[in-house]
Structure 1
Amino acid sequence: MNQRPSLTELGAFTAIVRHASFRIAADELGMSPSTLSHMMRSLEERLGLRLFNRTTRSVAPTEAGARLFRSLTPVLSELDLALADVGTFRDRPSGSLRINAHESSVRRLMVKVVPAFIARYPEMHLDMVTEGKLVDIVAEGFDAGIRLSEAIPQDMIAIPLGRDGQFLAVASPGYLATHGTPKTPDELAAHRCIRFRLPSGKIYRWEFERYDQELRLDVSGPMTLDHMGAMVDAAIQGLGIAYVSIDAAQEAIESGRLQSILTEWTPPFPGECLYYPSNRLVPAGLRAFVDMIKELG
């Protein structure tokens, strides 16, 4: 290897792997796809390694490319944090803030926190990625994540996001009038239930708790969905009983389109938190976002 790769090349390489696309990575980097492709070919030649498997339809890292990506991601992230820390000497935070969260969490933040943050810090860019599965935010290049407090690794700093969480069994008034209202979780076996598929592909088992008794039930019904908003819509249409988060169902409950049932079996639990590594520099933009959550969340 005659010449060490530049930070521009390494950053471009990680962008391609993250997006699995030369075109999207080129858009992010502000260059043409052909320029980016030429840069990567030059990088591969100097390293003496093929970093990508390319077809006309897809791009994916080779085994060597995947290993390089895993090694580079925390290094480049630390560099970004160091530069961001220096940037705190400026009057106002600027740059990009990447957050990984569930869709429902992002939508809740959109009500007050995000609009106020963007208005106060116009030089900041929020990059919010929504997905159901729990990811390693450090390895995936995120500044922070949002998840239930019980799912957050112990070596992270966690900032509570408002109220406690709660899951509710809900159904439309019409469904309950026709099929009756279950008084205990066991009675759900006689009802039409709308099942939820987890990001892993597994079907979620409904969880109930009362006093010292805990139940996890495999329910059956006319349909399985992988989106809580769609489950709420299905329940409103009278297709069955859904088991969803209070955030997803609250508007429909308040409007009378849904009724919550078995509430004594679904107690609140510690809610969601924004979390980030405790052993790394905290960029100014993230500090400002945390302050905004504490102020408005």
Structure 2
Amino acid sequence: MKKVSLTDLEIFLMIARHLNLSRASVELGITPSALSHALRGIETRLGLRLFNRTTRSVALTEAGRRLLSRIEPAFQEIDDAMEDLNHLRARPTGNLRISCGRASTRMVLLPIIARYLELYPEVSVEVVDNDALIDVVSGGFDAGVRLGERVEVDMVAIPIGPPMRSVVVGTPSFFEKYSIPRHPRDLLGLPCIRHRFPSGVVYRWEFNKDGEKLDTQVNGPLMLGDVGLMIEAALHHAGLAYVFEHMVSEHLAAGRLIQVLGDWCPAYPGFYLYYPSRRQLPAALRAFVELVQISGK
């Protein structure tokens, strides 16, 4: 077996993390064709195939999985050692990647990021807004933002923003045509705007009153995948929408929308910033965490 360099192992590790040559090439700053050529060279020197590749997919072989399990902790130790040096820097630098849902990006994340960039102009921030439940580690993110109930147990999580409340809303014109629901079961006879997550799951509207919890599968001819679009549809009298109160507060105050079933919609813990538990946080992430903590006081 010919000698394999640390650069070769770094290339292998990046491909193994992304399982996508295009994304790995962007991370490494080379073209996909150059990366593919480099990988063939590594496999030739090792005398083993590390990935099974087709035009549509990349998957680790048994040899690849074994190599990854041995070198990933070592590279993590190297990353941690380099991040230790960040504590000697006066100001954070580099890149910060955050995975966040569309609604939480608008509601809680952007104001903090604006302040963060004002304080640390040497840092570049990338926000990937996607309502899918992304694995921040395998996705190459530094942190993510989710509702507290959806954060994995092995993550460090801190509140970002106030408690939340979801509300059922419709226009005055809608209620001229349909009766006002007094109980969640009354929704079954009304057209509701349903929400499908990127995973394909259709959201069941959640209610809670005096300890009684109900998950209601509502009906309606319209289904959307974005909360902002659901609000727009409700404003056009397309049906009832179940959305974050904060996103419709101006419409409620102006009378464009009317809230119903308010006694069935209590407040709940809001969004959390979460990130992998590590001994030393990257300087850019550490500064962002500190700003979130200060903003929450």
- In structure 1, how many angstroms separate the alpha carbons of the residues matched to 2:65 and 2:82? 25
Aligned to 2:168, the other structure's residue is in SS state strand
Cα RMSD (Å): 2.6
Q: Secondary structure at the match of 2:137?
A: coil
Distance 1:73 1:225, change over 3 A: farther
1:94 aligns to what?
93
- Which residue matches 1:27? 26
- In the alignment, the residues of structure 1 paired with residue 75 and residue 251 of structure 2 have an alpha-carbon distance, to the nearest angstrom, of 45
Query: Post-superposition, which runs of at least 4 consecutive aligned residues in structure 1 deviate over 6 A?
Result: none
Aligned to 1:85: 84
- Following superposition, the deviation at residue 200 of structure 1 comes to 2.8
How far apart, in 1, do the equivalents of 2:173 and 2:64 lie?
53
Q: Distance in 2 between matches of 1:183 and 1:269?
A: 21
1:96 deviates by 2.1
Q: Does 1:67 align with 2:65?
A: yes
Query: Among the aligned pairs, what percent are the same residue?
Result: 38
Structure 2 counterpart of 1:49: 49
Using structure 1 for the length normalisation, give the TM-score.
0.86
- Written as runs of structure 1 = structure 2, the 5 A alignment for 1:255-294 is 255-294=254-293
How far did residue 24 of structure 1 move?
Answer: 4.3
2:6 aligned with 1:3: no
1:1-297 pair list within 5 angstroms: 1-6=1-6, 8-16=7-15, 21-47=20-46, 48-55=48-55, 58-64=56-62, 67=65, 71=69, 76-296=75-295
**CA-CA distance at 1:215 after TM superposition:** 1.3
Residue 208 of structure 1, CA deviation: 0.8
Deviation of 1:80 after TM superposition, in Å, equals 2.8
In the alignment, residue 119 of structure 1 is paired with which amino acid? E
For 1:278 and 1:100, how far apart are their aligned partners in 2? 16
Deviation at 1:49, TM superposition (A): 0.9
Any idea what the Cα deviations from partners look like across 1:38-82, whole Å, max 9, x if unmatched? Answer: 211111212321424132xx3422444873696366654553333
Q: Which runs of 5+ in 2 are unaligned?
A: none
Aligned-residue offset at 1:2:
2.4
Q: Structure 1 pair 241/18, CA: closer, same or farther in 2 (3 Å)?
A: farther
CA drift at 1:118: 1.6
Could you tell me how far apart the structure 2 residues matched to 1:292 and 1:185 are?
40
Q: Deviations over 1:176-227 (max 9, x none)?
A: 2221321221211121011111333222211111112211111111112222
Shift in Å, 1:129: 2.7
Distance change in 2, residues 1:73/1:250 (3 Å) = farther
Question: Which stretch of the first structure deviates more once superposed, 277-286 or 113-122?
Answer: 277-286
CA 1:68–1:168 in structure 2 vs 1: closer, same or farther (change >3 Å)?
farther
How far apart, in 2, do the equivalents of 1:201 and 1:16 lie?
28
Q: 1:107 to 1:85 in 2, by over 3 A?
A: farther
1:87–1:93 CA contact under 8 A, matched in 2: yes
Q: Closer, same or farther in 2 for the Cα pair 1:166/1:95, shift >3 Å?
A: same
> CA contact under 8 A between 1:14 and 1:73: conserved in structure 2?
yes
Q: Against the structure 1 CA distance between its residues 69 and 111, is the aligned structure 2 distance closer, same or farther, given a 3 Å change threshold?
A: farther
Q: Look up the SS of the partner of 2:128 in the other structure.
A: strand
Superposition deviation, residue 5 in structure 1: 4.0
Normalising by structure 2, we get a TM-score of 0.86
Residues 16-40 of structure 1 show CA distances to partners (whole Å, capped at 9, x for unaligned) of 4555553443333222333222211
2:58 corresponds to which letter in structure 1? Answer: A
Deviation, 1:146, is 1.6
SS of the counterpart of 1:112?
A: helix
- Distance across 2 between alignment mates of 1:270 and 1:177: 34
**Contact 1:73-1:140 within 8 A present in 2 as well:** no
Alignment check: 8 A CA contact 2:50 2:61 kept: no
Quick one: which amino acid aligns to residue 159 of structure 1?
Answer: I
Q: Which amino acid aligns with 1:185?
A: P
d(CA) in 1 for partners of 2:30 and 2:265? Answer: 52
